[in-house]
Each structure stands twice: as structure tokens, then as C-alpha cells.
Structure 1
Amino acid sequence: AALQSCLDRLAAVNPRLNAVIALDAAGAREAAAASDARWAAGQPLGPLDGVPITVKDNLFVGGLPAGWGSRLFAGQIAPRDDIPVARLRAAGALIIGKTNTPELSLAGHTDNLVHGATGNPWAPALTPGGSSGGAVAAVAAGMAPLSIATDAGGSLRRPAAMAGVATLRPGIGRVPRRWGFPPLAQDFQTIGPIARCVADVRVAFELMADPALPPPAWPARQRLRAVDGILGAPMDPDVRAAFAAALEAFAAMGHEVEIVSAPWNPDEVGALFGTLASAGVARVVTAHPGWEALVTPAIRAQAEAGLALSSADYVRAMDRIAVLRAELRDWMLAGHAVLTPAAATMPWPKAEPFPPEVDGCKAGPRAGAIFSTVLNLAGLPAAVVPCGPGARTGLPVGLQIAGGPGSEMPLLDLAAQ
């Protein structure tokens, strides 16, 4: 019944939203029959046995297309499941299909030359963000209760905020990855779940993750530091107001909330991410003869920037990342959690790569990422939960809750409040 409900919903709304770009109804039905038999025998594999899920199209699902939103990989079929996919399948999850992503999963909206643009379920003419826009749209629209996707610069967290769903970007090394496309930005990218509630995010994460040391013990009354803006970086008024209301709610729960200044420069963080990503793009696309005619102008520009980098440029960037990573981890451990908006922007037209302006100021490609990419650089975990809607637009706003190494479970506890 759960599977058929999701398939019916998908048939009704996916033509308008374009979230799921490859469907495996037959495979999901076969897996559902096996799940039904286990439940009838009183031997389910666990809480996700029989639960439909979708998988972002930059992760391998054996037997399904693996296109990465690019004509470079048109027609490619994944030979096997990547590790987190295999773990969820082994737990009885029903994989119903793949979700849309921008080319090479490197954009803040979800549009590509193969499948086109994905719409936001709350306003289909607007974007659900990127690069996991298809994943969050599928969950928010009821096509599946759970999806898994990746985050190298905010790709789980910003779309979750824009679609009004919950997610967790795990810290480095918590969810293994072995089979599939190469990471473009070294260890900036991790894999996490998306769901409509924190409890479902937790169940999926526990099944996907490697065993870990016991998480840090946080007291009932926590010391929360909040970054409510960055000098010179615009933020949508809806985001600002919803975030302020969230801080008031945490204070009312008895937590200590302190407003602090951000110890990072988003321009520097963006430049370091750009160095790694450009080199990664160059590495991937140049393996394909005639790539220049197959990719978007944005990806071609990134590849050319990567080809122009010297090895010394790359090593200098890695050295600076190592210094910032140590400094940011020390700063994070001075309190229990850090609160920020998940995205500085509200949704914009779905075919546009970024909003033309934010709060009256001209915006650029990373305008929404001033609070997200820094945590990829630091290698730290962060959860996102809805804290909207925005008073002006009525669209979702997300709250980001970040912590130190290994704090995924306490973060989810706090997010559930």
C-alpha cells in the first residue's frame, strides 16, 4: 500500500515538478512483495523494511541510470549499488527511482541539458535549490517518504530549507562511499538522508553510517551560539525574521542562546571550494573526447579554470583548508551547537542559476551558501529543519544546527525539539 501510494502520487505530480528522472516501479514492486512476506511472517528487517525511497542521480543504484545530470554520461547504467544504497536496500528499503540534479551536481538550482529544470512543490515555477533539488522535491511532494543525496557545499541543506523538509549532512567519514562517480571537491562531500521529519532522518542515517565512537553528551540546557548574518553578505528578510523567531523558541525552551560573529569569510571559503571543484571538474570532463560541446557553459568555464590551475595553486588551497579546518573545529567546540539560517535566499525562478538580487543587493552564484560551504570545509555535521514559512513569501525557511565532530545524534535530538 505504501509503495502504490507513492507511485500514484509520483504519477500525479512528477510531470509538473520533474523531480524523479528514472523510475523502477517493477523492481520496487518485486522488493515490496518480499517485504510484505517478511512482515506477514513477523520477520521484518527493520523500521525501513517496505519503505519507498529515491536516490540522487550522482549515486550508483545497480541496474538504474547513472547520469549525473550530464550528457557526458548519457545511457550509463550503474553496475552496482554504492555502499549507503546497498545498506538501505539490505534493510528492506524499496528504491523507486533516481532524482534530478544539475550537471555534475555543481549548482544552487536543479536544471540540466538532459532532463530540464525541477520545480519546488510549494511553487512549481520556482527552484527547490540544488544540487539535491530533485531529492527534496520528491520528499516534499509525497512521492517518497525518504531520499538520499550528497552535500559538497550545501547541496542537502539549502534545498531542504527551500522545500520545507529535514536533512542531515554527516561529518567526514560517517557514511562510506566507494562505488560511483568521483568526488569533485575532495572530502567536502558527504552523503545524507532527507525526510519530512527528524525521526525518519535519524533512522536512515543509523542504517547508512559506519559504527562510531559514542557521541558527545550534551546537557538538557545547551549553550547555543547563533550567527544571524555576515557583514557585507545580503540575506532575505523572510530568512532573517524566521531565524530570529527560531532563536526565541530555543531560548523559551531553556537553552542559552548567544549571538556571535562568524569567524569565516564566505568569499575565501567560496574561493577555496572553487579551486577544488574546478580541478575536479577538469579531471572528470577531460576524460571524454569532445566534452566542450556536451557540457553547459558554466561547467565548461569551471573546467577551463581547473585546467589553468597549477599544482602549487592546488596545494596552497589544501594547506589553507587544513588551517581553517583546525580553527573552525576549535571554534565549534567552544559551545554545544551553532545555529544559522540554512540558506540566505528564498526560492527563485527554477531555470535561473541564482537569484538576481537578495534584499535589494546584487547576488552571485554562491549568494545562498554563506552559511553552508564553511561546514563542508570544516568537515563537520549539520542538521536542517524547517523554521518558516517566510512572512512575505509564504515559502519554507530552514534552520541549520551544526556541531563538532561526531555530534550527529545530539544535533538530531536538538533539531527534533
Structure 2
Amino acid sequence: MDALAQSAALESGAVSCLELMDATLARIEAVNPKVNAIVSLRDGDRLRDEARAADNSPRHGWMHGLPIAIKDLANAAGLPTSMGSPLFAGQTAEADDLMVARLRAAGALIIGKTNTPEFGLGSHTFNPVHGATRNPYDLAKSSGGSSGGAAAALATGMLSIADGSDMMGSLRNPAGWNNVYGMRPTWGTIPAEPMGDMFMHQLSTSGPMARSPADLAALLDVMTGADPRQPLSRDSAKTLAGIDVAPKSLRLGWLGDWDGAFAYESGIAEISQAAMTTMEGLGHKVDVLPAPFDADAMWDSWCDLRSFAVTAGLGALYADEDKRGFLKPSALWEIERGLAMSAQTVQRASQTRSDWFRKVTRMFQSLDVLVLPSAQLWPFDVEWAYPEEIAGRSMDTYHRWMQVVIPAGLIGLPVVNVPVGFGENGLPAGVQLIGPRGSDALLLRLAQRWHAATDWPAQRPPAL
């Protein structure tokens, strides 16, 4: 059952919170050893006690009694927050992060954590603390990342709803690779923690994941809302209301491979273009667009701003020589770039970002949605650190293979990944529906119309 259906069953008394918890724990026991998506699972008896307590208390939110596991980058009181790093393995959080506190206030029962790459770096979920999360459609393949544990848990029915986060496709790539929905909301609608610098690092955001857009909207409405302690946070999205109202005929712009700038593995462009044909069948107009901006300039801006942000977060660990040796190569590369960077380098990167934002704002005067694939290749070997080439083109960094996600991420645009079917290899794919800032509700309505016509998660769940 989807999360809203579970919520309705709990509210009506058709299902008890204890029955749902029992079913959840049984499903985790059956399939998690194969995919390794949920980590730090809490004691089953304690969880059943909490479910019984929920059965005997008034409902105080639509998530009342729903089990959820939190991505292992966020703090949930009483649970470990390893961030996939040996430096923090076993560290127990003393308090909830703001987003987690909002989930608890809506009635969610937090059962454990979902797996993530070390510090969330890289769109492939593996780390030295919990190991790798495997793709439920092919256990020899990656589940993507950094929200790979959340996506695999959703696909396999261990969870009906999940949180994720996204700097460089971490909600979009794993959703596409696991045949579920993932949303990167307009930057600022889900505030981060009110700590450290709160002005300069506008790249990463939390977001919802689910097997339906309606569930995405319901979870997004819980997660969003301005925090008066944070200057760049925004008002709540309130996207669930009207989710079933089909949008008028929209103008979609298909960006293809950005005039050859993005290397695609065979079949990625074709399955994405087939999805555009389906969109036309739903009454929308699709235009094929030329590359609207210099891809190299955008990439350089992204790399500099990302390294600048990563260094702000991890620089203190690097400065401690006893801890530096525990950082993986991609983290060291980012930090060392950031430490070597001048203020003028950051200024130029932000200028490029500003130029791209001005350009895309003009584009949205004649378009409603831009479309790109969610990833440039199919799920790759789970034993790889990252793909070193795509279609014969060498990847010069650990994250170049995810270049397709930065046009939206660089400037904080909302994006919904929708599943678009399966390749000849039996593996799933998705596309990014990208809108202007503040268009979160419209994107979710478009995704819900897509879901009503296709429903790939229910059509083809993984066979485990």
C-alpha cells in the first residue's frame, strides 16, 4: 500500500499501527539482507511497544503510526548517525534535526536509518561502515545515491515513504534507478539545520521519496515551512491539495544530450524520448531544444561551488591529521580543491550560476517544464566506485557521470523524478521534470497525471 492508503486504513481502524509495524518488520527481515537498504534498525520489541502506544493515543498527523527510516546523514534522537564514515560509526544523536522533528510531530514512527555513501558524496551508495546497497532489480548493480538506501527500501516495500537529500542528483538518480519517485523541492522550502553559515551554500536540500506523487506531496507538506532562525527558508509548499487536478496542456522542453555535452549510455536517450511521446499523448506539447547555456562553464561553476561547500562541511576533519586518513579519496579531492580556492574563484562561479539563472528564467516565460534524463547511464556494477567512462567518453572526475543533474541543482530549481520504464537489460530509468522556482505543486500535479497513466512502481515491482 502507498503511504496515504496506509494512513487512511490506520485512521479507519481497518489496520492497526501494531499490524503495520509487524508487516514492516517482517518485510525487512525477508528482503533487507539481499539489498542492505535499511541500517541501524531498532529493536523490534521496542518498535512494537511504540506502535501499541500509537494505537492507544489520539492521531496527531496523517503520518500517525507510519514506520519510516531516516537517511543516515540526518540526526534522529537515539539513533546512530554514521554518515557512512568510520569517524562517526556508533555515534548516537542526542536530538532530532528539524526535518526529523517535523516527521515525528506528524506521527511517524522512526524505525532506523537508510544507507548512504560516506558523507553523501557520490551517486553510489556504499561505505566502510554499512557496506553497499544493491539494486533490487539486479543485485549485482548499484542502487544509486546518495539516497540509494531510501530508494531501494521503497522499491522493495520495506517502507511506504522515505526522506532523502539532494545536492547532485541524490534524490533523482536513485529514484530513477529503483523505479520510484523522488523530489528535489525548490531550494529553501525544506530548511536545513540553523547552524554554521546560512547564506552562502545554496546547493543541497532534503526532499521526499515515494511510490506515488501524491505521497511525495503529502510528505513534502510535512517537511516544508519557513524556520525563523534561517534567513533563506521559504513558506510551506502545501502541495497535496489539488494533487489530482490534472494540469492544463503544458509546454515541455526536451533538452536531449545538451548538444552532445552529456554522454549517454545506449538506450537512455531512447527511453527518455519515448516518455516524451507519452507526455504528448497526455495532451502536453513537447519541443526539442538546443543547448541553452555553455555546459563547460556550468560544470566549472558547479565543481567550484560544490568543493567550496564540501570544504565548509568537512574541512575541520581534514585539518585533524589523525582523522584525515579516514576520508575517502573523493572527499579529499573536494576539500583540497576548496582549500586552494580564492575568493575570486568563488565569485566567478557564482556569477556563472547567476547568468544561468537569468537565462532559464527567460526560458520559463515560454515553457512550463524542462526535461532531462535522471542519469546518463543504467545502474552500474555495485563493486565499482564510479563509472570511468560512458559510451567511450572518459569521466575525468568521480562525479562527471552525473553532469545531467546540475542544470537544476546549480540554481535551486524544483525537480520531480518520474519512472519511465525499463531497458532491454531489465533495469529501470527515470526523467527529471524541472520547473521554475516555486512550481513544486505544478510539477507534482504533472507527475500525478503521469502516474495515473503509467504507474510503473505497481506495474513492475522487483522480484525478490
Confirm or deny a common fold (TM above 0.5): yes
1:389 Cα deviation from its structure 2 partner: 0.8
- Change in 2 beyond 3 A, CA 1:339/1:46: same
1:250 Cα deviation from its structure 2 partner: 1.0
What amino acid maps onto 1:306 in structure 2? G
Residue 2 of structure 1 corresponds to which residue in structure 2?
20
- Change in 2 beyond 3 A, CA 1:69/1:330: farther
Residue 79 of structure 1 corresponds to which residue in structure 2?
94
| Contact persistence 2:137–2:426 (CA under 8 A) | no
Separation in 1 of the partners of 2:182 and 2:196?
22
- Change in 2 beyond 3 A, CA 1:371/1:285: closer
1:226 Cα deviation from its structure 2 partner: 1.3
- Change in 2 beyond 3 A, CA 1:196/1:214: closer
Separation in 1 of the partners of 2:315 and 2:192?
23
- Change in 2 beyond 3 A, CA 1:272/1:30: farther
Note if 1:387 corresponds to 2:420: yes
Residue 131 of structure 1 corresponds to which residue in structure 2?
146
> How does 1:223-372 map onto structure 2 within 5 Å?
223-230=251-258, 231-288=260-317, 289=320, 290-364=322-396, 365-372=398-405
- Change in 2 beyond 3 A, CA 1:327/1:3: same
Q: What do residues 45-74 of structure 1 show as CA deviations (whole Å, max 9, x unaligned)?
A: 333221111211111111111121122323
1:184 Cα deviation from its structure 2 partner: 12
Q: Secondary structure at the match of 1:285?
A: helix
1:382 Cα deviation from its structure 2 partner: 0.6
1:152 Cα deviation from its structure 2 partner: 0.7
Q: Secondary structure at the match of 2:168?
A: coil
Residue 33 of structure 2 corresponds to which residue in structure 1?
15
| Contact persistence 2:172–2:374 (CA under 8 A) | yes
1:212 Cα deviation from its structure 2 partner: 4.3
Q: What do residues 274-320 of structure 1 show as CA deviations (whole Å, max 9, x unaligned)?
A: 22232333333342322321111221222222221122222222232
Residue 11 of structure 2 corresponds to which residue in structure 1?
none
Separation in 1 of the partners of 2:194 and 2:150?
20
RMSD: 2.4
Separation in 2 of the partners of 1:99 and 1:280?
23
Shifted more, 195-204 versus 307-316: the winner is 307-316
- Percent identical: 35
Q: Secondary structure at the match of 2:87?
A: helix
Q: What do residues 355-380 of structure 1 show as CA deviations (whole Å, max 9, x unaligned)?
A: 24323433453344233122111211
Residue 228 of structure 2 corresponds to which residue in structure 1?
none
- Change in 2 beyond 3 A, CA 1:370/1:85: same
- Change in 2 beyond 3 A, CA 1:183/1:72: farther
Residue 42 of structure 2 corresponds to which residue in structure 1?
24
What amino acid maps onto 2:310 in structure 1? V
Separation in 2 of the partners of 1:287 and 1:195?
35
Tell me how many residue pairs correspond in the alignment.
Answer: 412
Structure 1 ranges of 4+ moved more than 6 A: 180-185, 213-218
Residue 200 of structure 1 corresponds to which residue in structure 2?
215
Separation in 2 of the partners of 1:331 and 1:293?
46
Separation in 2 of the partners of 1:256 and 1:363?
34
Q: Secondary structure at the match of 1:55?
A: strand
> How does 1:137-148 map onto structure 2 within 5 Å?
137-148=152-163
1:198 Cα deviation from its structure 2 partner: 1.2
Note if 1:402 corresponds to 2:434: yes
- Change in 2 beyond 3 A, CA 1:309/1:163: same
- Change in 2 beyond 3 A, CA 1:181/1:25: farther
Q: Secondary structure at the match of 2:297?
A: helix
| Contact persistence 2:189–2:237 (CA under 8 A) | no
Q: What do residues 24-48 of structure 1 show as CA deviations (whole Å, max 9, x unaligned)?
A: 245543432232224xxxx423332
1:218 Cα deviation from its structure 2 partner: 9.0
| Contact persistence 1:222–1:255 (CA under 8 A) | yes
What amino acid maps onto 2:87 in structure 1? L
Separation in 1 of the partners of 2:290 and 2:432?
16
Separation in 1 of the partners of 2:95 and 2:195?
9
Q: What do residues 331-359 of structure 1 show as CA deviations (whole Å, max 9, x unaligned)?
A: 23431111221111110011313224323
1:237 Cα deviation from its structure 2 partner: 2.5
1:75 Cα deviation from its structure 2 partner: 2.9
- Change in 2 beyond 3 A, CA 1:98/1:219: closer
- Change in 2 beyond 3 A, CA 1:214/1:2: closer
Separation in 1 of the partners of 2:70 and 2:199?
19
- Change in 2 beyond 3 A, CA 1:105/1:180: farther
Residue 48 of structure 1 corresponds to which residue in structure 2?
63
Note if 1:190 corresponds to 2:202: no
Separation in 2 of the partners of 1:333 and 1:97?
44
| Contact persistence 2:221–2:238 (CA under 8 A) | no
What amino acid maps onto 1:222 in structure 2? L
TM-score, normalised via structure 2 length: 0.83
1:148 Cα deviation from its structure 2 partner: 0.3
Separation in 1 of the partners of 2:248 and 2:149?
36
Q: What do residues 97-137 of structure 1 show as CA deviations (whole Å, max 9, x unaligned)?
A: 11111121110211122222111111111101111111111
